[in-house]
Structure 1
Amino acid sequence: MHSQRYFFPAAALVCCAVSVLRPAAAEAESVKALQWEINADKLTRLENPARIVAEGHVELIKLQKTAADRKKGRSARWNDLLGEDAGQPEEEQRPADSGSSKAVPQISENAAAEADEAGPRMVSTVMTTVKADRMLYNMDEGTVRADGKVFIEIGPDQLKADGGTVNLKQETGSFENAAIIRQYKDMHLEGQKIEKTGELTYHIEDGWIITCKLQDGETPPWSFKAAEADITDGGYAYLKHATFRIKDVPVLYTPIMILPAKRSRQTGFLFPLVSMSDRNGFGMELPFFINLSPSADITLYPHYIANRGFMAGAEGRYALDQGGKGTLMANFLSDDLKAEGSRTYTDQERYWLRGKADQEFGEWTTRLDIDLVSDRDYLSEFDLGRTGLTLSDRYYLEQFGRGLQDRTTDQRTNSLKALRSWGNGMSLRASLTGVDDLAEGENGSAALWKLPEIEHNGRLTVYEAVKTDLSWSTDYVHYWREEGVGAQRLDLYPKVTAAVPLLEQRLNGSVTAGLRNTAYAIDGNGDAAWADSDTENRLLGILQSELSTLMRKDFGTAGDGWSHVLRPFLKHTYVTDDDKNLPQFDGVDSFGDQNSITYGINNFFTVSGIKRNKEEFERDYGYVKLQQSYDLRSDAGDEPFLPIELRTAWYPTSSMIFRYETDLNVYDDGFLRHFAEGDYRSWRGDIFSLDYLYYKNIYKDTQGGSDTSSVRLSALVNLMYDFSAGYSLEKSLEDSITLKEKVSLVYHPACWAVELGAETTPDNEQITIMFQLANIGAPFGVDF
């Protein structure tokens, strides 16, 4: 049997079996009408009272008709040029016999213009869909009774039921043995009876709630069961006589419970963090989330630590637009535990303030970074949960693309930067930089602040025939410190670079000539060595030349091959000597007195092929860079060769990275530095990371100190039966001290997770337990 259809406004009677009731004519762009359409294998009309019985694959659709601009419709006739079928206007469509083959009439420009004068063209949009095996429509009451596999799509929600009644006028209803899935966070609502009380609001009797996906017929791993529940759109789920159940076994009862059922963020408590350690004793953190607006929120982190007192914590976030966002975090503790052993803090008022913000003001891009901490030991002692360094660093790195400074950094930089660039190669950068010096007084002078620094860079092509460019770097900075020498410094560095084609472009050559003038206004600021200093000026001449060539060889086939690019180079650098007594702030001050030749060879490797979906690809496979310099100055003595520098990387797969760097002194000192890094992430989500760092202290025989050698290891392995195991290690190898070691075991089936962690530091052992439910309090996830 062919499908039959009825069209009817929500409050109107159907006059005949197959008809369309249209709204009256109105002004273009303003005509809107709501209309219901019913499709079924069989439609039967009954009288007294007037009813329609629909049977077999019944589908009830709510349509909204909106006036369309015919001129805009004609502007879309690009589909004619593309060879696409523009389709038939909605109001021209009519139910027809199944065997009809009538051609669709074409509308001319004149006919379209006449139609514009006659009235607007209507376009239909599906708003709601109701499906069932059988429906009974009562025309007088405007209600529909649906039975057998009832399915309704209502905006972002889906409703399934064995049967129910729908009021088409008020768009409400009552359903038996029903389930609702709220798509925005996969919230499942089930009940013996569910009443749809508003557009997206419900009342549930004898039902349960779970906030994650379930397969049909699957027993929920956890749920909230309630005698009654009211779900409000833009509000909460209010439960009466609620029990929290695990595998349908009740473990907690409460007469009233409020759960987040909002499509937007909501104020409320997040899940707690519980810990136990030798040094701190029992601890509990109970976060509280406050939703200020759709673009701003605050999270409070009250943290009770038995042996230390109450730690207050807060996090504020905002997101104004795509180019403007910020997050500020702060913790404060009046510590009851005094420093012992290797602990260095002297003030019991412990704190950590950190934050980042990105904002665009027209053509200007700004970056704010804040990192203020009370003492060296804070970041190691309180690295726990979201407010600890590990997770805070991960959060800022993911959200802002730049993380926090290492826990061992004594001089913690705080800065505000503004940058503007122009398409012609010019840029202007201004910044303010302050330093929180945790080692103040230990090195004899305070940390340097930059208040402010302004840098302008640019490049212009002055002679296109031989590719000659004029570039410049202009930098002004005011160095300030609480004690010790400071200065205002202006550095001007213009240079001209000209390309020198050689041997029919087989060799690439370039020559650069420049002048660098650096002017100082020195402030002794109590430093006796600079008491009589006022101003200094340094003028340097720079001459650089480079000769290189580029060779490439392809191996294999276009569908499966690799390429090797070889670039040997030879470079000479000469900088005049200006033997003046200058303060040393950064590399600009030590620049000068060079006469060296640098030679090396760079190798770059790429692989190409065809993916399984027959898409071609080409990616980096690795590189090897090797170079060394020879000092031509007379005072180089018997050791003119500088260390050999090796930089290499290997990317065997797109998910695996290996890097290695080293500096080798060709004389007695041997290797001066090693840095090795390996990272791997599998398709299952397994993670492995290993970092090794070694620095040789070549001055330890005369100035004391020792070599630096450390290793960092972290791994996460997904085991069977929804278990994951994590391990992380930070160890100082030169003195065989384990700085931090942590083992985690996580059970994360669908909809919830529990993490058990054990952490060891030189003076503390700690155990933590974290429990999370999907979409309750915070996004579901597991962190290490």
Structure 2
Amino acid sequence: MSSIQNTQLPVLFLLSMTIGLADAQEVCFVPAPAPNLENLLLDGQIQVKSQDSEINQDTYAKFKGKVEIDSNIAKITADEAVFNRQTQTLKATGNVGFIDNYITVSSNQVQLNRSTNELVIEDSIYQLNQVQGNGQAKKIAIGEQSGINLVESSFSSCPVDDQVWRIQASNIELTPDQSRGVVKHARFYIKDVPVLYLPYFSFPVNDKRQSGLLYPIIKSDSSAGLSLEQPVYWNIAPNYDLTFSPRLMSKRGLQLKTEFRYLTEGHTGQLDLEYLSNDQEIADNSDRYFYRFIHQGQINENWQINADINGLSDDNYIIDLGSDYYNRADTHLFKTVGMSYFSEDLMMTAQFRDFEVLGDHSDSYRALPELRLNYLTELGANAEIEVHSELAYFESTDTNAPTATRFHIAPTVRFPYQNQWSEFVAEATVMHSHYLQENVENTTFDEEVTRTIGQAKIFGALTFERTLNLFGSSVTQTLEPKAQYLYTSFEDQSNIGLYDTTRLFNNFSGLFRGQEYTGLDRISDNNQITLGLTSRIIGADNKEQFKLSLGQIFYLADSKITDISKDEDRSALAAELDWQIGSKWYAHTEAQVSTSTDKIERSSLSLEYQLTKDKIVQVNHRYIRDLSSEEINQVGITASWPIAPNWQWVSRWYHDLERNRTVETYNGVKYESCCWTISLVAQRRLSNRFDTDGTQSTDEFDSGFNVYFTSRNLLRDGLFGYRRPYLLN
């Protein structure tokens, strides 16, 4: 064994060649084992091992037979190596191998110039070690100052034995301290067929955000026709960027889309603008637009600001042109700006709240402004007091509609108690409201209304446990009864308008809510007892396998508010079930059953079979006896299943049993390998377009076809509304 001191090897950064790799590499790429470079060598030292050596003290050192040249950053193997002391060059020949943390190279010859710190590798085959990437090069020249230059080289992220695509280039240059590499005379091949030639292009060489072209988006549907969208990304600064996406539609023309994002130490936000000039599919060729501004900011430890402002040119914009932020079922777009204060006992918010209403819906009231204050503190003796108050001014886009200023304050004294097996809460609340209403001449409302309502509530819950032997396994079963008595005094509220108030639907948890309305314009009078029972089965791994909840309200007196007056002395029986049936089947169901007619009022059912992460079949059914005088009765099937190696199929089908028609179909297939991916999606669904008087169509359908070149989760992206029905804790 011989050694040579103070010979340097430059660090290879060919890792930066990992450009344009498919996201699938995270799944199917297995990094090569890191080379064992542990030794006692210092920086700049190399150690040579060989079977035979010949050393001339002043001119050269020659090594033959299983030559190994080690440093603390790389390793070279060869049949023969010669170190010329006069020219300060090291030349290795014959079955040469080079390896470091980033790259493994096989070649015929490697030459290192110590004086210039340049490394030249001839006729090489390389494989990147940390990411998927490989290729060949006639010459690889590496220098500390000049960087990396690959001459007559190729690159692909596909496996070596299955190169679906590759880039062949005359030169690939990677310069130190530069964020982009340069490729000259590049030919792009699919298999062995050349499909594209570029005399010059640049590419990012690290994981930092870089300006450039993103993947195009190709779609075809009956509304816009064939559309091609080409996003262009501009990395303005480390905390600012802009994506500009021109979209050409065969039926409608050119749409311009921009997305601007920013991030500072305490604030983050995004501004989206979309504009279509002279829509060719509309008779008057009108201009169409959409805007969205989102902001969240932390002023200091206690103060926050936020904004959510959205707007569009017409009701059918989202339906005709699509949206990354809304879907065609949405009826309102938010316009909210606010400021919040948080401390240990106090929470205060001030905001302006408005809506963009789509279609023929009743005009919504906007709160300009709305101030809320909540205060919570302990009184001693395990008691606490909470004060909720708010001040709001409501106005509508309908100039003939009433306007109102509402002040509300509700102090609550509460006595809570809780331990591992029980919970008890007793509370009393006084709700005082004052309204100043204008423009009420043609209504039954009064210009000034003062309302004071008292409420008392007692809630208790217990938890019992026992150990069972179920199907040969030891499990824990719980029995959790809960009861609530609620009394709310009555006051006539028919002289108050409805500004932020609508009816609520009850499920099991809603039975204990104690309020029939959202908002404050109607506070229901109550004299009722609510009973509920939950039972769980918990496995040895402390995971819930089964949960069943039943509950019902018993009315001791009928409500005096006309809108919610009831003929029965009890509510519908509310039930919820979550069940893990074995290791692959999951079920979730909710139902409300009238105990006077024994008819189901509302129900939903989800049954899912999940063999693996990508093998899923889910069946859903939804039923509502009366929703705005219509009966809803729909069944749906969602499936995701691999159909061949690298191929995934996703599908959804929804059928309206009431009208005996299919309301939506969705089929998508995705091919994903280690080096490329493509998704093809076809769908047909109700268009939901609005006509000139704002009425939404329920008979017209829209169909489309999309192509995606990036890796996508079709189950999440395409199957809107999918969720696993297994809701156990």
Cα distance change of structure 1 residues 191 and 619 upon mapping to structure 2, 3 Å threshold: same
Q: Aligned to 2:579, what secondary structure does the other structure show?
A: strand
**2:712 equivalent to 1:765:** no
**Contact kept? 1:487, 1:520, Cα under 8 Å:** yes
User: Which residue of 64, 67, 75 maps to 1:130?
Assistant: 75
Q: Aligned to 2:649, what secondary structure does the other structure show?
A: strand
Tell me what 1:61 maps to.
71
Unaligned segments of structure 2, at least 5 residues: 10-38, 502-517, 560-564, 686-699, 719-729
Aligned amino acid, residue 395 of structure 2: W
**Deviation of the 1:473 alpha carbon:** 2.3
**2:211 equivalent to 1:294:** no
Aligned amino acid, residue 289 of structure 2: Y
**Contact kept? 2:335, 2:354, Cα under 8 Å:** yes
Unaligned segments of structure 1, at least 5 residues: 12-19, 23-32, 63-127, 341-345, 384-388, 394-403, 610-617, 701-705, 773-778
**Contact kept? 1:621, 1:650, Cα under 8 Å:** yes
Higher relative contact order (CA 8 A, sep 6+): 2
**2:359 equivalent to 1:427:** no
1:563-618 superposed Cα distances (whole Å, 9 cap, x missing partner): 22221122110011122422222232212411111111122333233xxxxxxxx3
**Deviation of the 1:220 alpha carbon:** 1.5
Aligned amino acid, residue 49 of structure 2: A
Paired with 2:420 and 2:240, the residues of 1 have a C-alpha distance of 58
TM-score (normalised: structure 2): 0.77
Q: Aligned to 2:673, what secondary structure does the other structure show?
A: coil
**Deviation of the 1:197 alpha carbon:** 4.0
**Contact kept? 1:485, 1:530, Cα under 8 Å:** no
Tell me what 1:25 maps to.
none
Cα distance change of structure 1 residues 547 and 742 upon mapping to structure 2, 3 Å threshold: closer
Tell me what 2:431 maps to.
516
Aligned amino acid, residue 153 of structure 1: D
Paired with 2:539 and 2:290, the residues of 1 have a C-alpha distance of 47
Question: Between Structure 1 and Structure 2, which shows a larger proportion of helix residues?
Answer: 1
Tell me what 2:497 maps to.
583
User: Which residue of 488, 495, 499 maps to 2:405?
Assistant: 488
Instruction: Note the 1:41-56 alignment, pairs <5 A.
Output: 45-51=55-61, 53=63, 56=66
Q: Aligned to 1:719, what secondary structure does the other structure show?
A: strand
**Contact kept? 1:8, 1:21, Cα under 8 Å:** no
Tell me what 2:484 maps to.
571
Instruction: Note the 1:192-591 alignment, pairs <5 A.
Output: 192-198=138-144, 201-210=147-156, 212=157, 214=159, 217-232=160-175, 234-320=178-264, 325-334=268-277, 336-338=279-281, 348-354=286-292, 356-363=294-301, 364-383=303-322, 389=323, 392=324, 404=326, 406-422=327-343, 424=344, 426-439=346-359, 442-443=361-362, 446-464=363-381, 467-483=382-398, 484-499=401-416, 509-524=424-439, 528-529=442-443, 533=447, 535-556=448-469, 561-580=474-493, 581-584=495-498, 585-586=500-501, 587=518, 588-591=520-523
Tell me what 1:97 maps to.
none
Cα distance change of structure 1 residues 279 and 463 upon mapping to structure 2, 3 Å threshold: closer
1:464-502 superposed Cα distances (whole Å, 9 cap, x missing partner): 4xx32223323333323222223232322222222579x
Cα distance change of structure 1 residues 538 and 461 upon mapping to structure 2, 3 Å threshold: same
Tell me what 1:673 maps to.
602
Cα distance change of structure 1 residues 718 and 4 upon mapping to structure 2, 3 Å threshold: farther
Alignment identity in percent? 18
**Contact kept? 1:468, 1:497, Cα under 8 Å:** yes
Tell me what 2:47 maps to.
38
**2:539 equivalent to 1:607:** yes
**Contact kept? 1:10, 1:142, Cα under 8 Å:** no
Q: Aligned to 2:443, what secondary structure does the other structure show?
A: helix
**2:646 equivalent to 1:646:** no
**Contact kept? 1:543, 1:574, Cα under 8 Å:** yes
Cα distance change of structure 1 residues 417 and 748 upon mapping to structure 2, 3 Å threshold: same
**Contact kept? 1:40, 1:54, Cα under 8 Å:** no
Paired with 2:309 and 2:105, the residues of 1 have a C-alpha distance of 48
**Contact kept? 2:90, 2:111, Cα under 8 Å:** yes
Tell me what 1:8 maps to.
6
TM-score (normalised: structure 1): 0.72
Q: Aligned to 1:697, what secondary structure does the other structure show?
A: strand
Cα distance change of structure 1 residues 561 and 531 upon mapping to structure 2, 3 Å threshold: closer
1:712-762 superposed Cα distances (whole Å, 9 cap, x missing partner): 554332221322222234555443454442222222222112333322244
Tell me what 2:622 maps to.
693
**Deviation of the 1:517 alpha carbon:** 1.6
**Contact kept? 2:350, 2:372, Cα under 8 Å:** yes
Cα distance change of structure 1 residues 560 and 488 upon mapping to structure 2, 3 Å threshold: farther
Q: Aligned to 1:453, what secondary structure does the other structure show?
A: strand
Aligned amino acid, residue 428 of structure 1: M
Q: Aligned to 2:319, what secondary structure does the other structure show?
A: helix
**2:666 equivalent to 1:742:** yes
**Contact kept? 2:373, 2:389, Cα under 8 Å:** yes
**Contact kept? 2:296, 2:306, Cα under 8 Å:** yes
Paired with 2:115 and 2:616, the residues of 1 have a C-alpha distance of 55
**Deviation of the 1:628 alpha carbon:** 0.7
Tell me what 2:591 maps to.
662
Instruction: Note the 1:169-184 alignment, pairs <5 A.
Output: 170-179=116-125
1:27-74 superposed Cα distances (whole Å, 9 cap, x missing partner): xxxxxx953343636776432325475975735335xxxxxxxxxxxx
**CA RMSD between the two structures:** 3.8
Paired with 1:751 and 1:505, the residues of 2 have a C-alpha distance of 54
Paired with 1:420 and 1:140, the residues of 2 have a C-alpha distance of 75
Cα distance change of structure 1 residues 626 and 430 upon mapping to structure 2, 3 Å threshold: farther
**Deviation of the 1:436 alpha carbon:** 0.5
Instruction: Note the 1:156-175 alignment, pairs <5 A.
Output: 161-168=107-114, 170-175=116-121
Paired with 1:185 and 1:478, the residues of 2 have a C-alpha distance of 59
**Deviation of the 1:437 alpha carbon:** 0.9
Paired with 1:620 and 1:367, the residues of 2 have a C-alpha distance of 38
**Contact kept? 2:457, 2:486, Cα under 8 Å:** yes
* Matched positions, count: 641
Paired with 2:402 and 2:680, the residues of 1 have a C-alpha distance of 52
Paired with 1:44 and 1:491, the residues of 2 have a C-alpha distance of 98
Paired with 1:666 and 1:337, the residues of 2 have a C-alpha distance of 57
Q: Aligned to 1:667, what secondary structure does the other structure show?
A: coil
Paired with 1:237 and 1:730, the residues of 2 have a C-alpha distance of 50
Tell me what 1:401 maps to.
none
Paired with 1:317 and 1:371, the residues of 2 have a C-alpha distance of 16
Q: Aligned to 1:381, what secondary structure does the other structure show?
A: helix
Paired with 1:507 and 1:281, the residues of 2 have a C-alpha distance of 62
Paired with 1:679 and 1:486, the residues of 2 have a C-alpha distance of 49
Paired with 1:751 and 1:606, the residues of 2 have a C-alpha distance of 44
Paired with 2:610 and 2:271, the residues of 1 have a C-alpha distance of 30
